[in-house]
Every structure is written in structure tokens, then in C-alpha cells.
């Protein structure tokens, strides 16, 4: 038997669907508080020293956290090539709108403290805030559009055609999804600041975090209610989990409440959105109770629940097509080859635990609050 045949093709496809979800959760949780902290900078910090405290709460870890973004994009490229091709070309301007702030973010981190001029630092603080808000909203808007279907189609020779526009992405439901994303990461950023800072910054972060957590729960619940009126997608023909990666070999129709079909068939799946709501509410409660670690864990739980609930609702769809529903990309017809998925799984099994262990070690070494006095006296290599 050939080595890669030890794991069947359909199982490998399921494993990589789960790994993609894991990487997206990792990005939202790990890089999410970086983005939330940056977005909160003008709200929780009033003086230059307070702003330096806020920046240095994420200063040692933000670069490492972006590994999850690279891993997520890389896994889409290698494991789901049609998904990568359609999403990254169709959402080109949206991706550009997200990547430009992410590119400017490290520049702002490095350049802000090069001069002590107040106006100079204020401009870079504005860049940091923008770099926290814009990508957060764009990612949410993109997810809102995915749930509604993306206007693409395949020609008979498998060339892909995207017929949407950037302004078309800014529809009401997608903007609501963007609001959920922003509230979610503001909650997470506030929980991180509540853990890593003290004094006035911590008090402001706690107040903002409570509001953001309640807003996350309310907006997520509203989005779930409105999702019931969004036409989802349903496969009406037979589909072979071991079949070739050709999305044109099936029949798909749009149907009301189709995104809740998996929960209807398996009621236990309702636990996922329940965990998301409970996590957000628990974050508000623990912030109010000044439970620092519990608040951050509850916030992370809410984020994981929100991200996973989208995947659970859409399965087996990865990217539905609003132009030609039968061209929608699914777990069963948009993957790389059997051998490619197996080799990637072996590599991931080796390196992902190393990344987790190294990240855990870094956070253990950097545990504790940011010392404002040391920053003020210049006794640290702080931003």
C-alpha cells in the first residue's frame, strides 16, 4: 500500500476542513487582541505614557501572532487551491483594503517612538488605530458576503469569472457581520489590556470591554436571526466524498434557512452558537468582577464559538456561488490531491505543535503587567 493511502481521501478532506477552522480561530484569538488593542488606543489611553503602556502590552508578541494569518492563508493556498483562487481574486480590493493597514502597522510600531514630537506620535497612533479597525471590519464583511454567496462562476474549461464589485460587498448583512467582528475584537483587546495593564488604562479597558462584550452578544444574536432570512445553499444531487476536485459535477439550489439544516439534523450543534453567546456574556461578567484571566479566556471562547458556528452552519460549503449555485466550492470538490493533503498533514503534525509550544513559552516568559514606571524611566527596550 502507498503510504498516503493509509488515510482515505474523504477523511483527509475533513481533517483539512477542521484544520482550516482551527487556523482561523487561532488567527482570530491570537492576532485578534492585537487588532483590538490598536483599535482601542485613543479610547483607553489619554497621555503619551499611557499610550506607550498600551502599545507595549502587545509589543513583544504581535509579530509572532501574525504567524496564524500566514498559516491560514498558506493552508488555503495549498489545501484548497480553487478557494484561494476565487477568494483572493474576487475579494482583491477588499484584501487590499485589509493588507495595507496590516503593512502599515509594523511601520507605526517602529516609527512612533523615533521622535518625541507630539504631533508625530499622534499621527502614528492614528495609523495604529486605523490598522486595528479596518482589517477587523473587512474580515467580518467578507464573512458576511460568503454567507450570502459570492458572484463567481466557472467556464466549462474551469476558468473562473468573478462578476462582483467592491461596493457590492458593502450590503447591510455584510456590514452587520463587520460590526460583529469589530465588537468581538474590541472585547478581546479590552480583556487583554485588563490583564496586562493597571491604573486608569485598566479601568477604561474594563468599561469598554463590558460594553463591547454585550454588543458582541447582541449583534451576533441579531445576525443569527437575520441569517434565517438569508437564502442558504443545499446540495440536491449525489456527491462523492472520494471524487475528483471538480465543483461542476453536482447540483446545488438556494433555499430558505438552509444554513440551519445541519443544526436541524444534529441538534447538538446548537451548542456552538450557545457557547459563543455564553462566552461573550461571561466576558462581560468577569470583566465587571475584575477577573483578569477568566475574562480573557471567556473572550477567546466567544471568538472561537462565533468562528466555528459559521463553519458548522456552512458545511460542506466553503465558498457558495450566487451566480451559479452548482459552481459552489465544497469540502468534497475543492481540495488538492490525496497525496498533497497527506504530505501537508505530516508537515503540519510536526510543525504546528512546535509553534504552539514556542508561543506558549513566549507568553509564559512575558507574563505579568506592563510596568509604566520602567517605561517612563527608560529602563526597558520598550516602544
Q: Tens digits of per-residue pLDDT, 242-258?
A: 988 889 889 999 999 99
pLDDT surpassing 80 at residue 172 = yes
Q: Using 50, 70 and 90 to split pLDDT, how confident is the model at 366? A: confident
pLDDT surpassing 60 at residue 105 = yes
pLDDT surpassing 70 at residue 209 = yes
Instruction: Name the pTM for this structure.
Output: 0.93
Domain extent at residue 298:
9-236+245-376
pLDDT in tens, 287-301: 999 999 999 999 999
pLDDT in tens, 33-64: 999 999 999 999 999 999 999 999 998 888 88
Q: Using 50, 70 and 90 to split pLDDT, how confident is the model at 3? A: low
Instruction: Please give the average per-residue pLDDT across 264-274, as a whole number.
Output: 96
Would you say residue 339 lies in a domain?
yes
Residue 328 contacts residue 253 (beta carbons within 8 Å): no
pLDDT value for 7: 86
Phi, psi of 2 (to 5 degrees): -70, 140
Which has the minimum average pLDDT: 26-30, 108-112, 191-195?
Answer: 108-112
pLDDT in tens, 183-200: 999 999 999 999 999 999
pLDDT surpassing 60 at residue 1 = no
Residue owning grid cell 469569472: 161
pLDDT value for 371: 82
pLDDT surpassing 60 at residue 154 = yes
pLDDT value for 381: 64
Considering the chain, what is the average pLDDT of its residues? Answer: 91
Instruction: Please give the average per-residue pLDDT across 333-360, as a whole number.
Output: 92
Residue 38 contacts residue 32 (beta carbons within 8 Å): no
Would you say residue 224 lies in a domain?
yes
pLDDT value for 263: 94
pLDDT in tens, 210-246: 999 999 999 999 999 999 989 999 999 988 899 888 8
Instruction: Please give the average per-residue pLDDT across 162-176, as a whole number.
Output: 89
Determine the Cα–Cα distance for residues 155 and 147; give it in Å rounded to an integer.
23
pLDDT surpassing 80 at residue 207 = yes
Q: Using 50, 70 and 90 to split pLDDT, how confident is the model at 383? A: confident
Would you say residue 2 lies in a domain?
no
pLDDT value for 4: 63
Please report the DSSP string for 145-199 in residue order: HHHH-B-EEE-TT--EEE---TGGG--HHHHHHHHHHHHHHHHHHHHHHHHH--H
Total domains in the fold of the chain: 1
Would you say residue 186 lies in a domain?
yes
Would you say residue 383 lies in a domain?
no
Would you say residue 184 lies in a domain?
yes
pLDDT surpassing 70 at residue 379 = no
Determine the Cα–Cα distance for residues 363 and 366; give it in Å rounded to an integer.
5
Number of H helices, E strands in the chain: 15, 6
Q: Using 50, 70 and 90 to split pLDDT, how confident is the model at 345? A: very high
Would you say residue 273 lies in a domain?
yes
Would you say residue 17 lies in a domain?
yes
% of the chain surpassing 70 pLDDT? 98
Instruction: Please give the average per-residue pLDDT across 142-157, as a whole number.
Output: 91
Amino acid at each position: 500500500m502507498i503510504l498516503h493511502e493509509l488515510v482515505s481521501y474523504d477523511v483527509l478532506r475533513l481533517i483539512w476542513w477542521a484544520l482550516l477552522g482551527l487556523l482561523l480561530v487561532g488567527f482570530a484569538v491570537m492576532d485578534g487582541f492585537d487588532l483590538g488593542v490598536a483599535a482601542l488606543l485613543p479610547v483607553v489611553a489619554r497621555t503619551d505614557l499611557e499610550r506607550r503602556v498600551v502599545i507595549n502590552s502587545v509589543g513583544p508578541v504581535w509579530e509572532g501572532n501574525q504567524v496564524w494569518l500566514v498559516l491560514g492563508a498558506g493552508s488555503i493556498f495549498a489545501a484548497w487551491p480553487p478557494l484561494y483562487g476565487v477568494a483572493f481574486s474576487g475579494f482583491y480590493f477588499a484584501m487590499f483594503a485589509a493588507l495595507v493597514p496590516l503593512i502599515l502597522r509594523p511601520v507605526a510600531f517602529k516609527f512612533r517612538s523615533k521622535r518625541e514630537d507630539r504631533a508625530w506620535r499622534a499621527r502614528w497612533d492614528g495609523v495604529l488605530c486605523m490598522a486595528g479597525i479596518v482589517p477587523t471590519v473587512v474580515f467580518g464583511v467578507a464573512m458576511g458576503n460568503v454567507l450570502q454567496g459570492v458572484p463567481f462562476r466557472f467556464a466549462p474549461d474551469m476558468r473562473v469569472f468573478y462578476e462582483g464589485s467592491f461596493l457590492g460587498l458593502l450590503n447591510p448583512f455584510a456590514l452587520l457581520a463587520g460590526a460583529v467582528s469589530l465588537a468581538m475584537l474590541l472585547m478581546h483587546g479590552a480583556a487583554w489590556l485588563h490583564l496586562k495593564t493597571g491604573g486608569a488604562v485598566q479601568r477604561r479597558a474594563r468599561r469598554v470591554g463590558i460594553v463591547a462584550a454585550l454588543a458582541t452578544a447582541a449583534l451576533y444574536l441579531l445576525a443569527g436571526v437575520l441569517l434565517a432570512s438569508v437564502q442558504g445553499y443545499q446540495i440536491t444531487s449525489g456527491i462523492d466524498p472520494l471524487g475528483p476536485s471538480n465543483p461542476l459535477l453536482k447540483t446545488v439550489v438556494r433555499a430558505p434557512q438552509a444554513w440551519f439544516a445541519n443544526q436541524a439534523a444534529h441538534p447538538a450543534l446548537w451548542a456552538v452558537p450557545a457557547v459563543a453567546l455564553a462566552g461573550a456574556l461571561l466576558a462581560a461578567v468577569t470583566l465587571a468582577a475584575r477577573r483578569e484571566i477568566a475574562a480573557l479566556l471567556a473572550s477567546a471562547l466567544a471568538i472561537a464559538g462565533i468562528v466555528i458556528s459559521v463553519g458548522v452552519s456552512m458545511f460542506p460549503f466553503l465558498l457558495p456561488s450566487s451566480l451559479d449555485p452548482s459552481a459552489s466550492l465544497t469540502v468534497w470538490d475543492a481540495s488538492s490531491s490525496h497525496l498533497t493533503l497527506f504530505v501537508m498533514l505530516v508537515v503540519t503534525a510536526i510543525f504546528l505543535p512546535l509553534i504552539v509550544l514556542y508561543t506558549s513559552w513566549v507568553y509564559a516568559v512575558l507574563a505579568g503587567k506592563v510596568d509604566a514606571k520602567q517605561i517612563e524611566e527608560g529602563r526597558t527596550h520598550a516602544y
